[in-house]
Amino acid sequence: MKRLPIAIVGCGGMGGRHLLGLKALYETPFCNVELVAACDLRKDNAERLADEAERLLGTRPQVYGDMAEMVAAQPDLAAVDIATDAGSHHIVTCMAFDLGLHVLSEKPLALTVRGCNRILVAQGRSGKTLSVAENYRRDPMARLTKALLDAGAIGDVRMFFDVSVGSGNRIIILPWRHYKNVGGILLDGGVHNADLMQYYMGDVRDVYARLQLQEPIRYKAPGGGVAGFYEAWQAEIPDSIEATAEDSLISVIGFDAGAMGQWTACYAGHGGGFGGKAIYGSVGRLQPGGIRNGVSPVLQRDGQEPITGDALLDLVPDYRLDPLTAHLFGGERLASYNLPFPEADRGLLAIEYYEFAACVLDGREPEVNGEVGRSALAICYAAFESSVLGRTVTLDEVVNECTGEYEAEINAHWKIQ
């Protein structure tokens, strides 16, 4: 199988996670990428990832501290996987396009909508492929949920609920998730919620929301609390930090198709977690399947017993997973799966890599292209803008930069003109 020569740019925790996804893809008959380089301004990060790549993949990628130098030294390099900090996405992605490279970018596509718009202009100049690494929708349980909605399992879709509360006052993985100018937790986590929302429900029309910062001081979790992907940076986490990004959001969503939604996210909840997702229609309710845990969707229709697991498959006879997903998760018509979180996470990243390379090699458009990635970010910013302006904000206003009060400080910080 033809392989796309690719480099990982940004070799910190997320770059390491992507490397595990590459390993998962390498171990299948579908591998269509070849890691040839690792690039990071911190050479120690790039060296660490290259060492790990040699152990996992069998060959060591070349290490660089500058992307232009990397392209000059490797003329066959065709694409980059950008896993840098979100604030630099617009800089690194535009540079990659101007260097003639195809781009797979970690979410969010940029830290602001203006940054996304600059990226899309650069892509237009280059004519190269852009895919956003949004993994949640690729989970088999998300695919089954979408198939059930499309098959009319709950009739006309009317209401969407997404509620999550927890985290207390601890630092969530790494401190940067609590700093507004480098990507607060409501943005970093919220683009996942927003992308699933638009995947299940269609385009968002407008948002009305309120934001608060409820825990201005965050504390290092006992034992560090750093996920395994980020162990190397645990010593760099201070005992406490002063947060500048809001941690709590309540919003009302209007969809183009006429349905309504409610999105609540509170990363300052004490006393235990709370939450869940539910989609209501004219004849029933669907609780979407779990992401990276294999939990089946649950369908409840009026006057009937709940339907879950394999019984759901009778309602969607045409539901099939693509061959790679079926290979990684254990079947083409899955109603649940039993994989540990790290294996499921690696599998979804492998799927992102495969689809990106296939689109480049075959001239196809990615499922989560730049416009889709921008829309997910714009849903978050419509909520943020609404809270600042005290009114409903449309997605068109945000995408077209007709309003940008909340992101103005971030654009100024990163000099996004």
CATH number, residue 50: 3.40.50.720
* Residue 184 and residue 66 share a domain: no
pLDDT computed for residue 227 by the predictor = 60
Distance between CA atoms of 270 and 161, rounded to whole angstroms? 21
pTM for the model stands at 0.96
Distance between CA atoms of 125 and 109, rounded to whole angstroms? 17
Show the CA angle centred on residue 201, arms to residues 199 and 207, nearest 5°.
105
pLDDT computed for residue 92 by the predictor = 98
Q: What domain count does the chain have?
A: 2
According to DSSP, the β-strands at 130-133 and 102-106 are: parallel
Show the CA angle centred on residue 41, arms to residues 184 and 228, nearest 5°.
55
3-state secondary structure of 240: strand
* Residue 61 and residue 111 share a domain: yes
Distance between CA atoms of 83 and 12, rounded to whole angstroms? 8
Query: 384 in a domain, yes or no?
Result: no
Query: 349 in a domain, yes or no?
Result: no
Query: 286 in a domain, yes or no?
Result: yes
User: Tokens at residue 103, please?
Assistant: 């781009």
Distance between CA atoms of 207 and 392, rounded to whole angstroms? 6
* Residue 322 and residue 183 share a domain: yes
pLDDT computed for residue 222 by the predictor = 80
Distance between CA atoms of 371 and 376, rounded to whole angstroms? 9
3-state helix, strand, coil split of the chain in percent (to 5) is: 45, 25, 35
Distance between CA atoms of 395 and 402, rounded to whole angstroms? 10
* Residue 282 and residue 241 share a domain: yes
From the CB of residue 18, how many other CB atoms can be counted at a distance below 10 Å? 27
Strand partners, 224: 221
Local confidence pLDDT in tens for the 417 residues of the chain = 899 999 999 999 899 999 999 999 999 999 999 999 999 999 999 999 999 999 999 999 999 999 999 999 999 999 999 999 999 999 999 999 999 999 999 999 999 999 999 999 999 999 999 999 999 999 999 999 999 999 999 999 999 999 999 999 999 988 999 999 998 999 999 999 999 999 999 999 999 999 999 999 999 988 665 566 667 777 788 999 999 999 999 999 999 999 999 999 999 999 999 999 999 999 999 999 999 999 999 999 999 999 999 999 999 999 999 999 999 999 999 999 999 999 999 999 999 999 999 999 999 999 999 999 999 999 999 999 999 999 999 999 999 999 999 999 999 999 998
Q: Ramachandran region of residue 292, left (φ > 0), alpha (ψ -120 to 50) or beta?
A: left
* Residue 118 and residue 149 share a domain: no
What is the helix (H) or strand (E) element at residue 43, kind and residue range?
Answer: helix 43-57
**Structural domain boundaries, residue 90:** 4-135+364-368
Query: 84 in a domain, yes or no?
Result: yes
pLDDT computed for residue 226 by the predictor = 54
User: Tokens at residue 153, please?
Assistant: 């399992």
* Residue 160 and residue 58 share a domain: no
* Residue 59 and residue 208 share a domain: no
The domain boundary residue, chosen from 351, 368, 385: 368
* Residue 31 and residue 129 share a domain: yes
User: Tokens at residue 100, please?
Assistant: 């003639």
> Residues with Cβ < 8 Å from 92, sequence gap 6 or more?
9, 10, 67, 82, 84
Query: 210 in a domain, yes or no?
Result: yes
Q: For residues 39 and 67, is the Cβ–Cβ distance under 8 A?
A: yes
* Residue 161 and residue 130 share a domain: no
What is the helix (H) or strand (E) element at residue 286, kind and residue range?
Answer: strand 284-287
* Residue 202 and residue 72 share a domain: no
Q: Report the b/e string of 232-245 with b at 16+ CB within 10 A.
A: eeeeebeeebebeb
Distance between CA atoms of 359 and 356, rounded to whole angstroms? 5
Q: For residues 296 and 141, is the Cβ–Cβ distance under 8 A?
A: yes
Burial of residue 373, with CB atoms counted within 10 A of its CB: 0-12 exposed, 13-18 middle, 19 or more buried: buried
Query: 344 in a domain, yes or no?
Result: no
List the CATH number of the domain containing 192: 3.30.360.10
Q: For residues 351 and 134, is the Cβ–Cβ distance under 8 A?
A: no
User: Tokens at residue 58, please?
Assistant: 């069998």
3-state secondary structure of 175: helix
Which DSSP letter does residue 204 get?
Answer: E
* Residue 191 and residue 124 share a domain: no
Query: 184 in a domain, yes or no?
Result: yes
3-state secondary structure of 73: helix
Query: 415 in a domain, yes or no?
Result: no
* Residue 332 and residue 191 share a domain: yes
User: Tokens at residue 81, please?
Assistant: 């996987």
Residue 352 Cα distances to 106, 107, 136, 337, 358, angstroms: 10, 12, 11, 19, 10
> In 40-156, which ranges are E strands?
62-64, 79-82, 102-106, 130-133
Residue 204 Cα distances to 66, 201, 256, angstroms: 39, 8, 6
3-state secondary structure of 285: strand
Residue 131 C-alpha from the chain's centroid: 11
Radius of gyration from C-alpha coordinates of the chain: 21
